[in-house]
Amino acid sequence: MNPTQALAIYNSLTGEKENFEPIIPGKVGMYVCGPTLYSEPHMGNMRTFINFDLIYRYFLHLGYQVKYVRNITDAGHITNSAGEAVDSIGKAARLEQVQSLEIVYKYNVKFQELQRIYNLLPPSIEPTATGHIQEQIEIIEKIIENGFAYIVNGSVYFDVRTYGKEFEYGILSGRKVDELAEETRELNAQDEKRFFADFALWKKAHPEDMQIWRSPWGDGNPGWHIECTAMSTKYLGDRFDIHGGGLDLKFPHHEDEIAQSCGSVGCNPANYWLHANMLNVNGQKMSKSLGNYFLPKEIVDGTTTVFDKPYLPQVIRFCMMQAHYRSTLDFTQDSLNAAEKGFMRLSEAYEKLGSLETKETSSVDVQALVDSFYNAMNDDFNAPMLVAGLFEAVKYINTVFEGKATISASDLKLLTKEFTGFVFDVLGLTIEKASSDQALTAAMDLVLDMRRSARENKDWGTSDKIRDRLAEAGIVVKDSKEGATWVVK
RNA sequence: GGUCUCGUGGCCGAGUGGCUAGGCACCGGUCUGCAAAACCGUAUACUCCGGUUCGAAUCCGGACGAGACCUCCA
């Protein structure tokens, strides 16, 4: 590795790019908020997970030993500001007339499948909220002990006002408690909370609840935020390097995690807070009501009506890599088609790498090119800049292939190592070999052989007829000096 | 209503106080029996109005527009 600049990360907590300094040299502890499994994760969820997969992969590429924890939220109780329980998993379970765990299990299987399809590296640990109820209770007890929470009628609430005397509530989101008071539209008059901004750590069970746990305060369910605090603390300690998640979790979820950690162990849990931006479709945030909502599996299968053709998962991933993780990204038919063609070009250049002829010297500064890959990623994981650098390499590879530029043996070795390293290991792309259908391949060999004979006899009529009829069947024939190749569209 | 972000060429999308991001499309060229494909190359931009500056699309202010969060959300 030859980065000419240090790894800088944009820290949402400070609003600035900071040089990355791990707590333990050579090691990284990273926690990312995973999905709530009350439905199949949609494409927008996937973008967040793909972006953090990129970050995970880059740390690994730099040689860090990474402990990557991404939780699974399988306890449905979440409370809104009015203190009302919103049990999304229980709701889904009732709708499908099954138990909560069945819902969670069903969607977890789908989520695992999606991770395979989109080539996500498995995290070091995927803990579940329901597996850490005891830890959550212990943290709540500690917060109560420290005076930052109170018990009302079997529920426990975090006391934001008392907390605010010692710590700063709103340190991450920039919200001020006073402002929040004015902004909040309506408060529930029946509220058990002492203050509108207080949030539930533990919620007393309702008779119709499908999942109930025992606690010192009676039967109930954990609050949403405490789940993440418990799991991150258990596996990464009171203080770790990176906490990530979608931008929409910044407030209140992450803000409340900070409050819970400060309120229990006295410090912000993470040194660097990273937030991945949202995915838009045709210019708008993906949503069911707008009709631009689709699942990661549907776009691959071509079963969504949003786009008129299927796309390979690696094309979708590549499309995402052309935008920075902190920017919104707009998926449109055009942007996906552009990514598809660009990805093909990248793939084809990769396949040429193995057959390049080397010369005494290189006509391009390969080391500088490789440095640009690292510098791009070291600048807050700027994948689009990396992709631009990779296309510089593509152009170079192509011109060498055409005999219009030269590369030395040592530079070719370097370029091959780093180019493939960044394409496969860092960006997480996969390049599939052409059709593995042996019967089709044999038939095509025969057809193209007959066409070649026709062409040798200047029988253009037959040659063109074969070409056109194959095109109608969805097979595109590409002629080149080395002969004809084909590809199924 | 409050807080915040953003507004880049036909599309997607980086970046920077003065030095061409990149991809796709377009156009030109090479190649080809023709075409496609492939490859190479050129062009097009920084919402508007003020201000700071030798110089701003890049900094500041305002206008307009878009989006996010404030309620579950990746």
A428-474 pLDDT tens trace: 999 876 556 788 888 888 999 999 999 988 899 999 999 989 888 88
Q: Is residue A432 part of a domain?
A: no
Both tokens of A13, joined, read 């907590």
- How far, in Å, CA of A249 to CA of A271, rounded? 17
Same domain, A234 and A326: no
A349-404 pLDDT tens trace: 998 998 899 999 999 999 999 999 999 999 999 999 999 999 999 999 999 998 88
Written in H, E and C, the secondary structure of A372-398 is: HHHHHHHECCCHHHHHHHHHHHHHHHH
Same domain, A251 and A347: no
pLDDT of A429 reads 96
Both tokens of A66, joined, read 């990474």
Same domain, A53 and A195: yes
Same domain, A216 and A296: no
Residue type, A216: P
Is residue A280 within 8 Å of residue A323, measured between CB atoms? no
A110-131 pLDDT tens trace: 999 999 999 999 999 999 999 9
pLDDT of A2 reads 42
pLDDT band with cut points at 50, 70 and 90 for residue A189: very low
> ipTM score of the complex?
0.93
Q: Is residue A228 part of a domain?
A: yes
Q: CA quadruple A374, A375, A380, A386: dihedral positive or negative?
A: negative
The mean pLDDT of A11-28, rounded to a whole number, is: 92
Question: CATH code at A355?
Answer: 1.10.730
Same domain, A288 and A266: no
Count of structural domains within chain A:
3
Same domain, A97 and A120: yes
Q: Is residue A4 part of a domain?
A: no
Question: CATH code at A205?
Answer: 3.40.50.620
pLDDT of A30 reads 97
Same domain, A466 and A356: no
Residues 444-463 of A, Cβ under 7 A from nucleic strand B: 455, 460, 463
Angstrom distance, A125 CA to B10 C1': 46
Write the CB contacts of A382 (distance below 8 Å, at least 6 apart in sequence).
Answer: A324, A376
Q: CA quadruple A447, A450, A456, A460: dihedral positive or negative?
A: negative
Same domain, A444 and A381: no
Same domain, A368 and A458: no
Full DSSP string of A45-71: HHHHHHHHHHHHHHHHHTT-EEEEEE-
Peptide linkage before A252 cis (omega within 30 of 0): yes
Same domain, A336 and A350: yes
Q: Is residue A402 part of a domain?
A: yes
How many other CB atoms are found less than 10 A from the CB of residue A274?
24
Chain B bases under 7 Å from protein CB?
Answer: 1-4, 10-15, 21-25, 31-41, 66-74
Enumerate the H helices of A409-459 as residue ranges: 409-420, 438-456
A287-321 pLDDT tens trace: 766 667 889 999 999 998 888 889 999 999 999 99
Same domain, A412 and A472: no
Which of these three, A276, A294, A311, is where a domain ends?
A276
Range of the domain at A446: 438-488
Residues 157-186 of A, Cβ under 7 A from nucleic strand B: 173-175, 179-180, 182-185
Q: Is residue A284 part of a domain?
A: yes
Q: Is residue A335 part of a domain?
A: yes
Same domain, A286 and A333: yes
Is the CB atom of residue A432 positioned under 7 angstroms from any atom of strand B? Answer: no
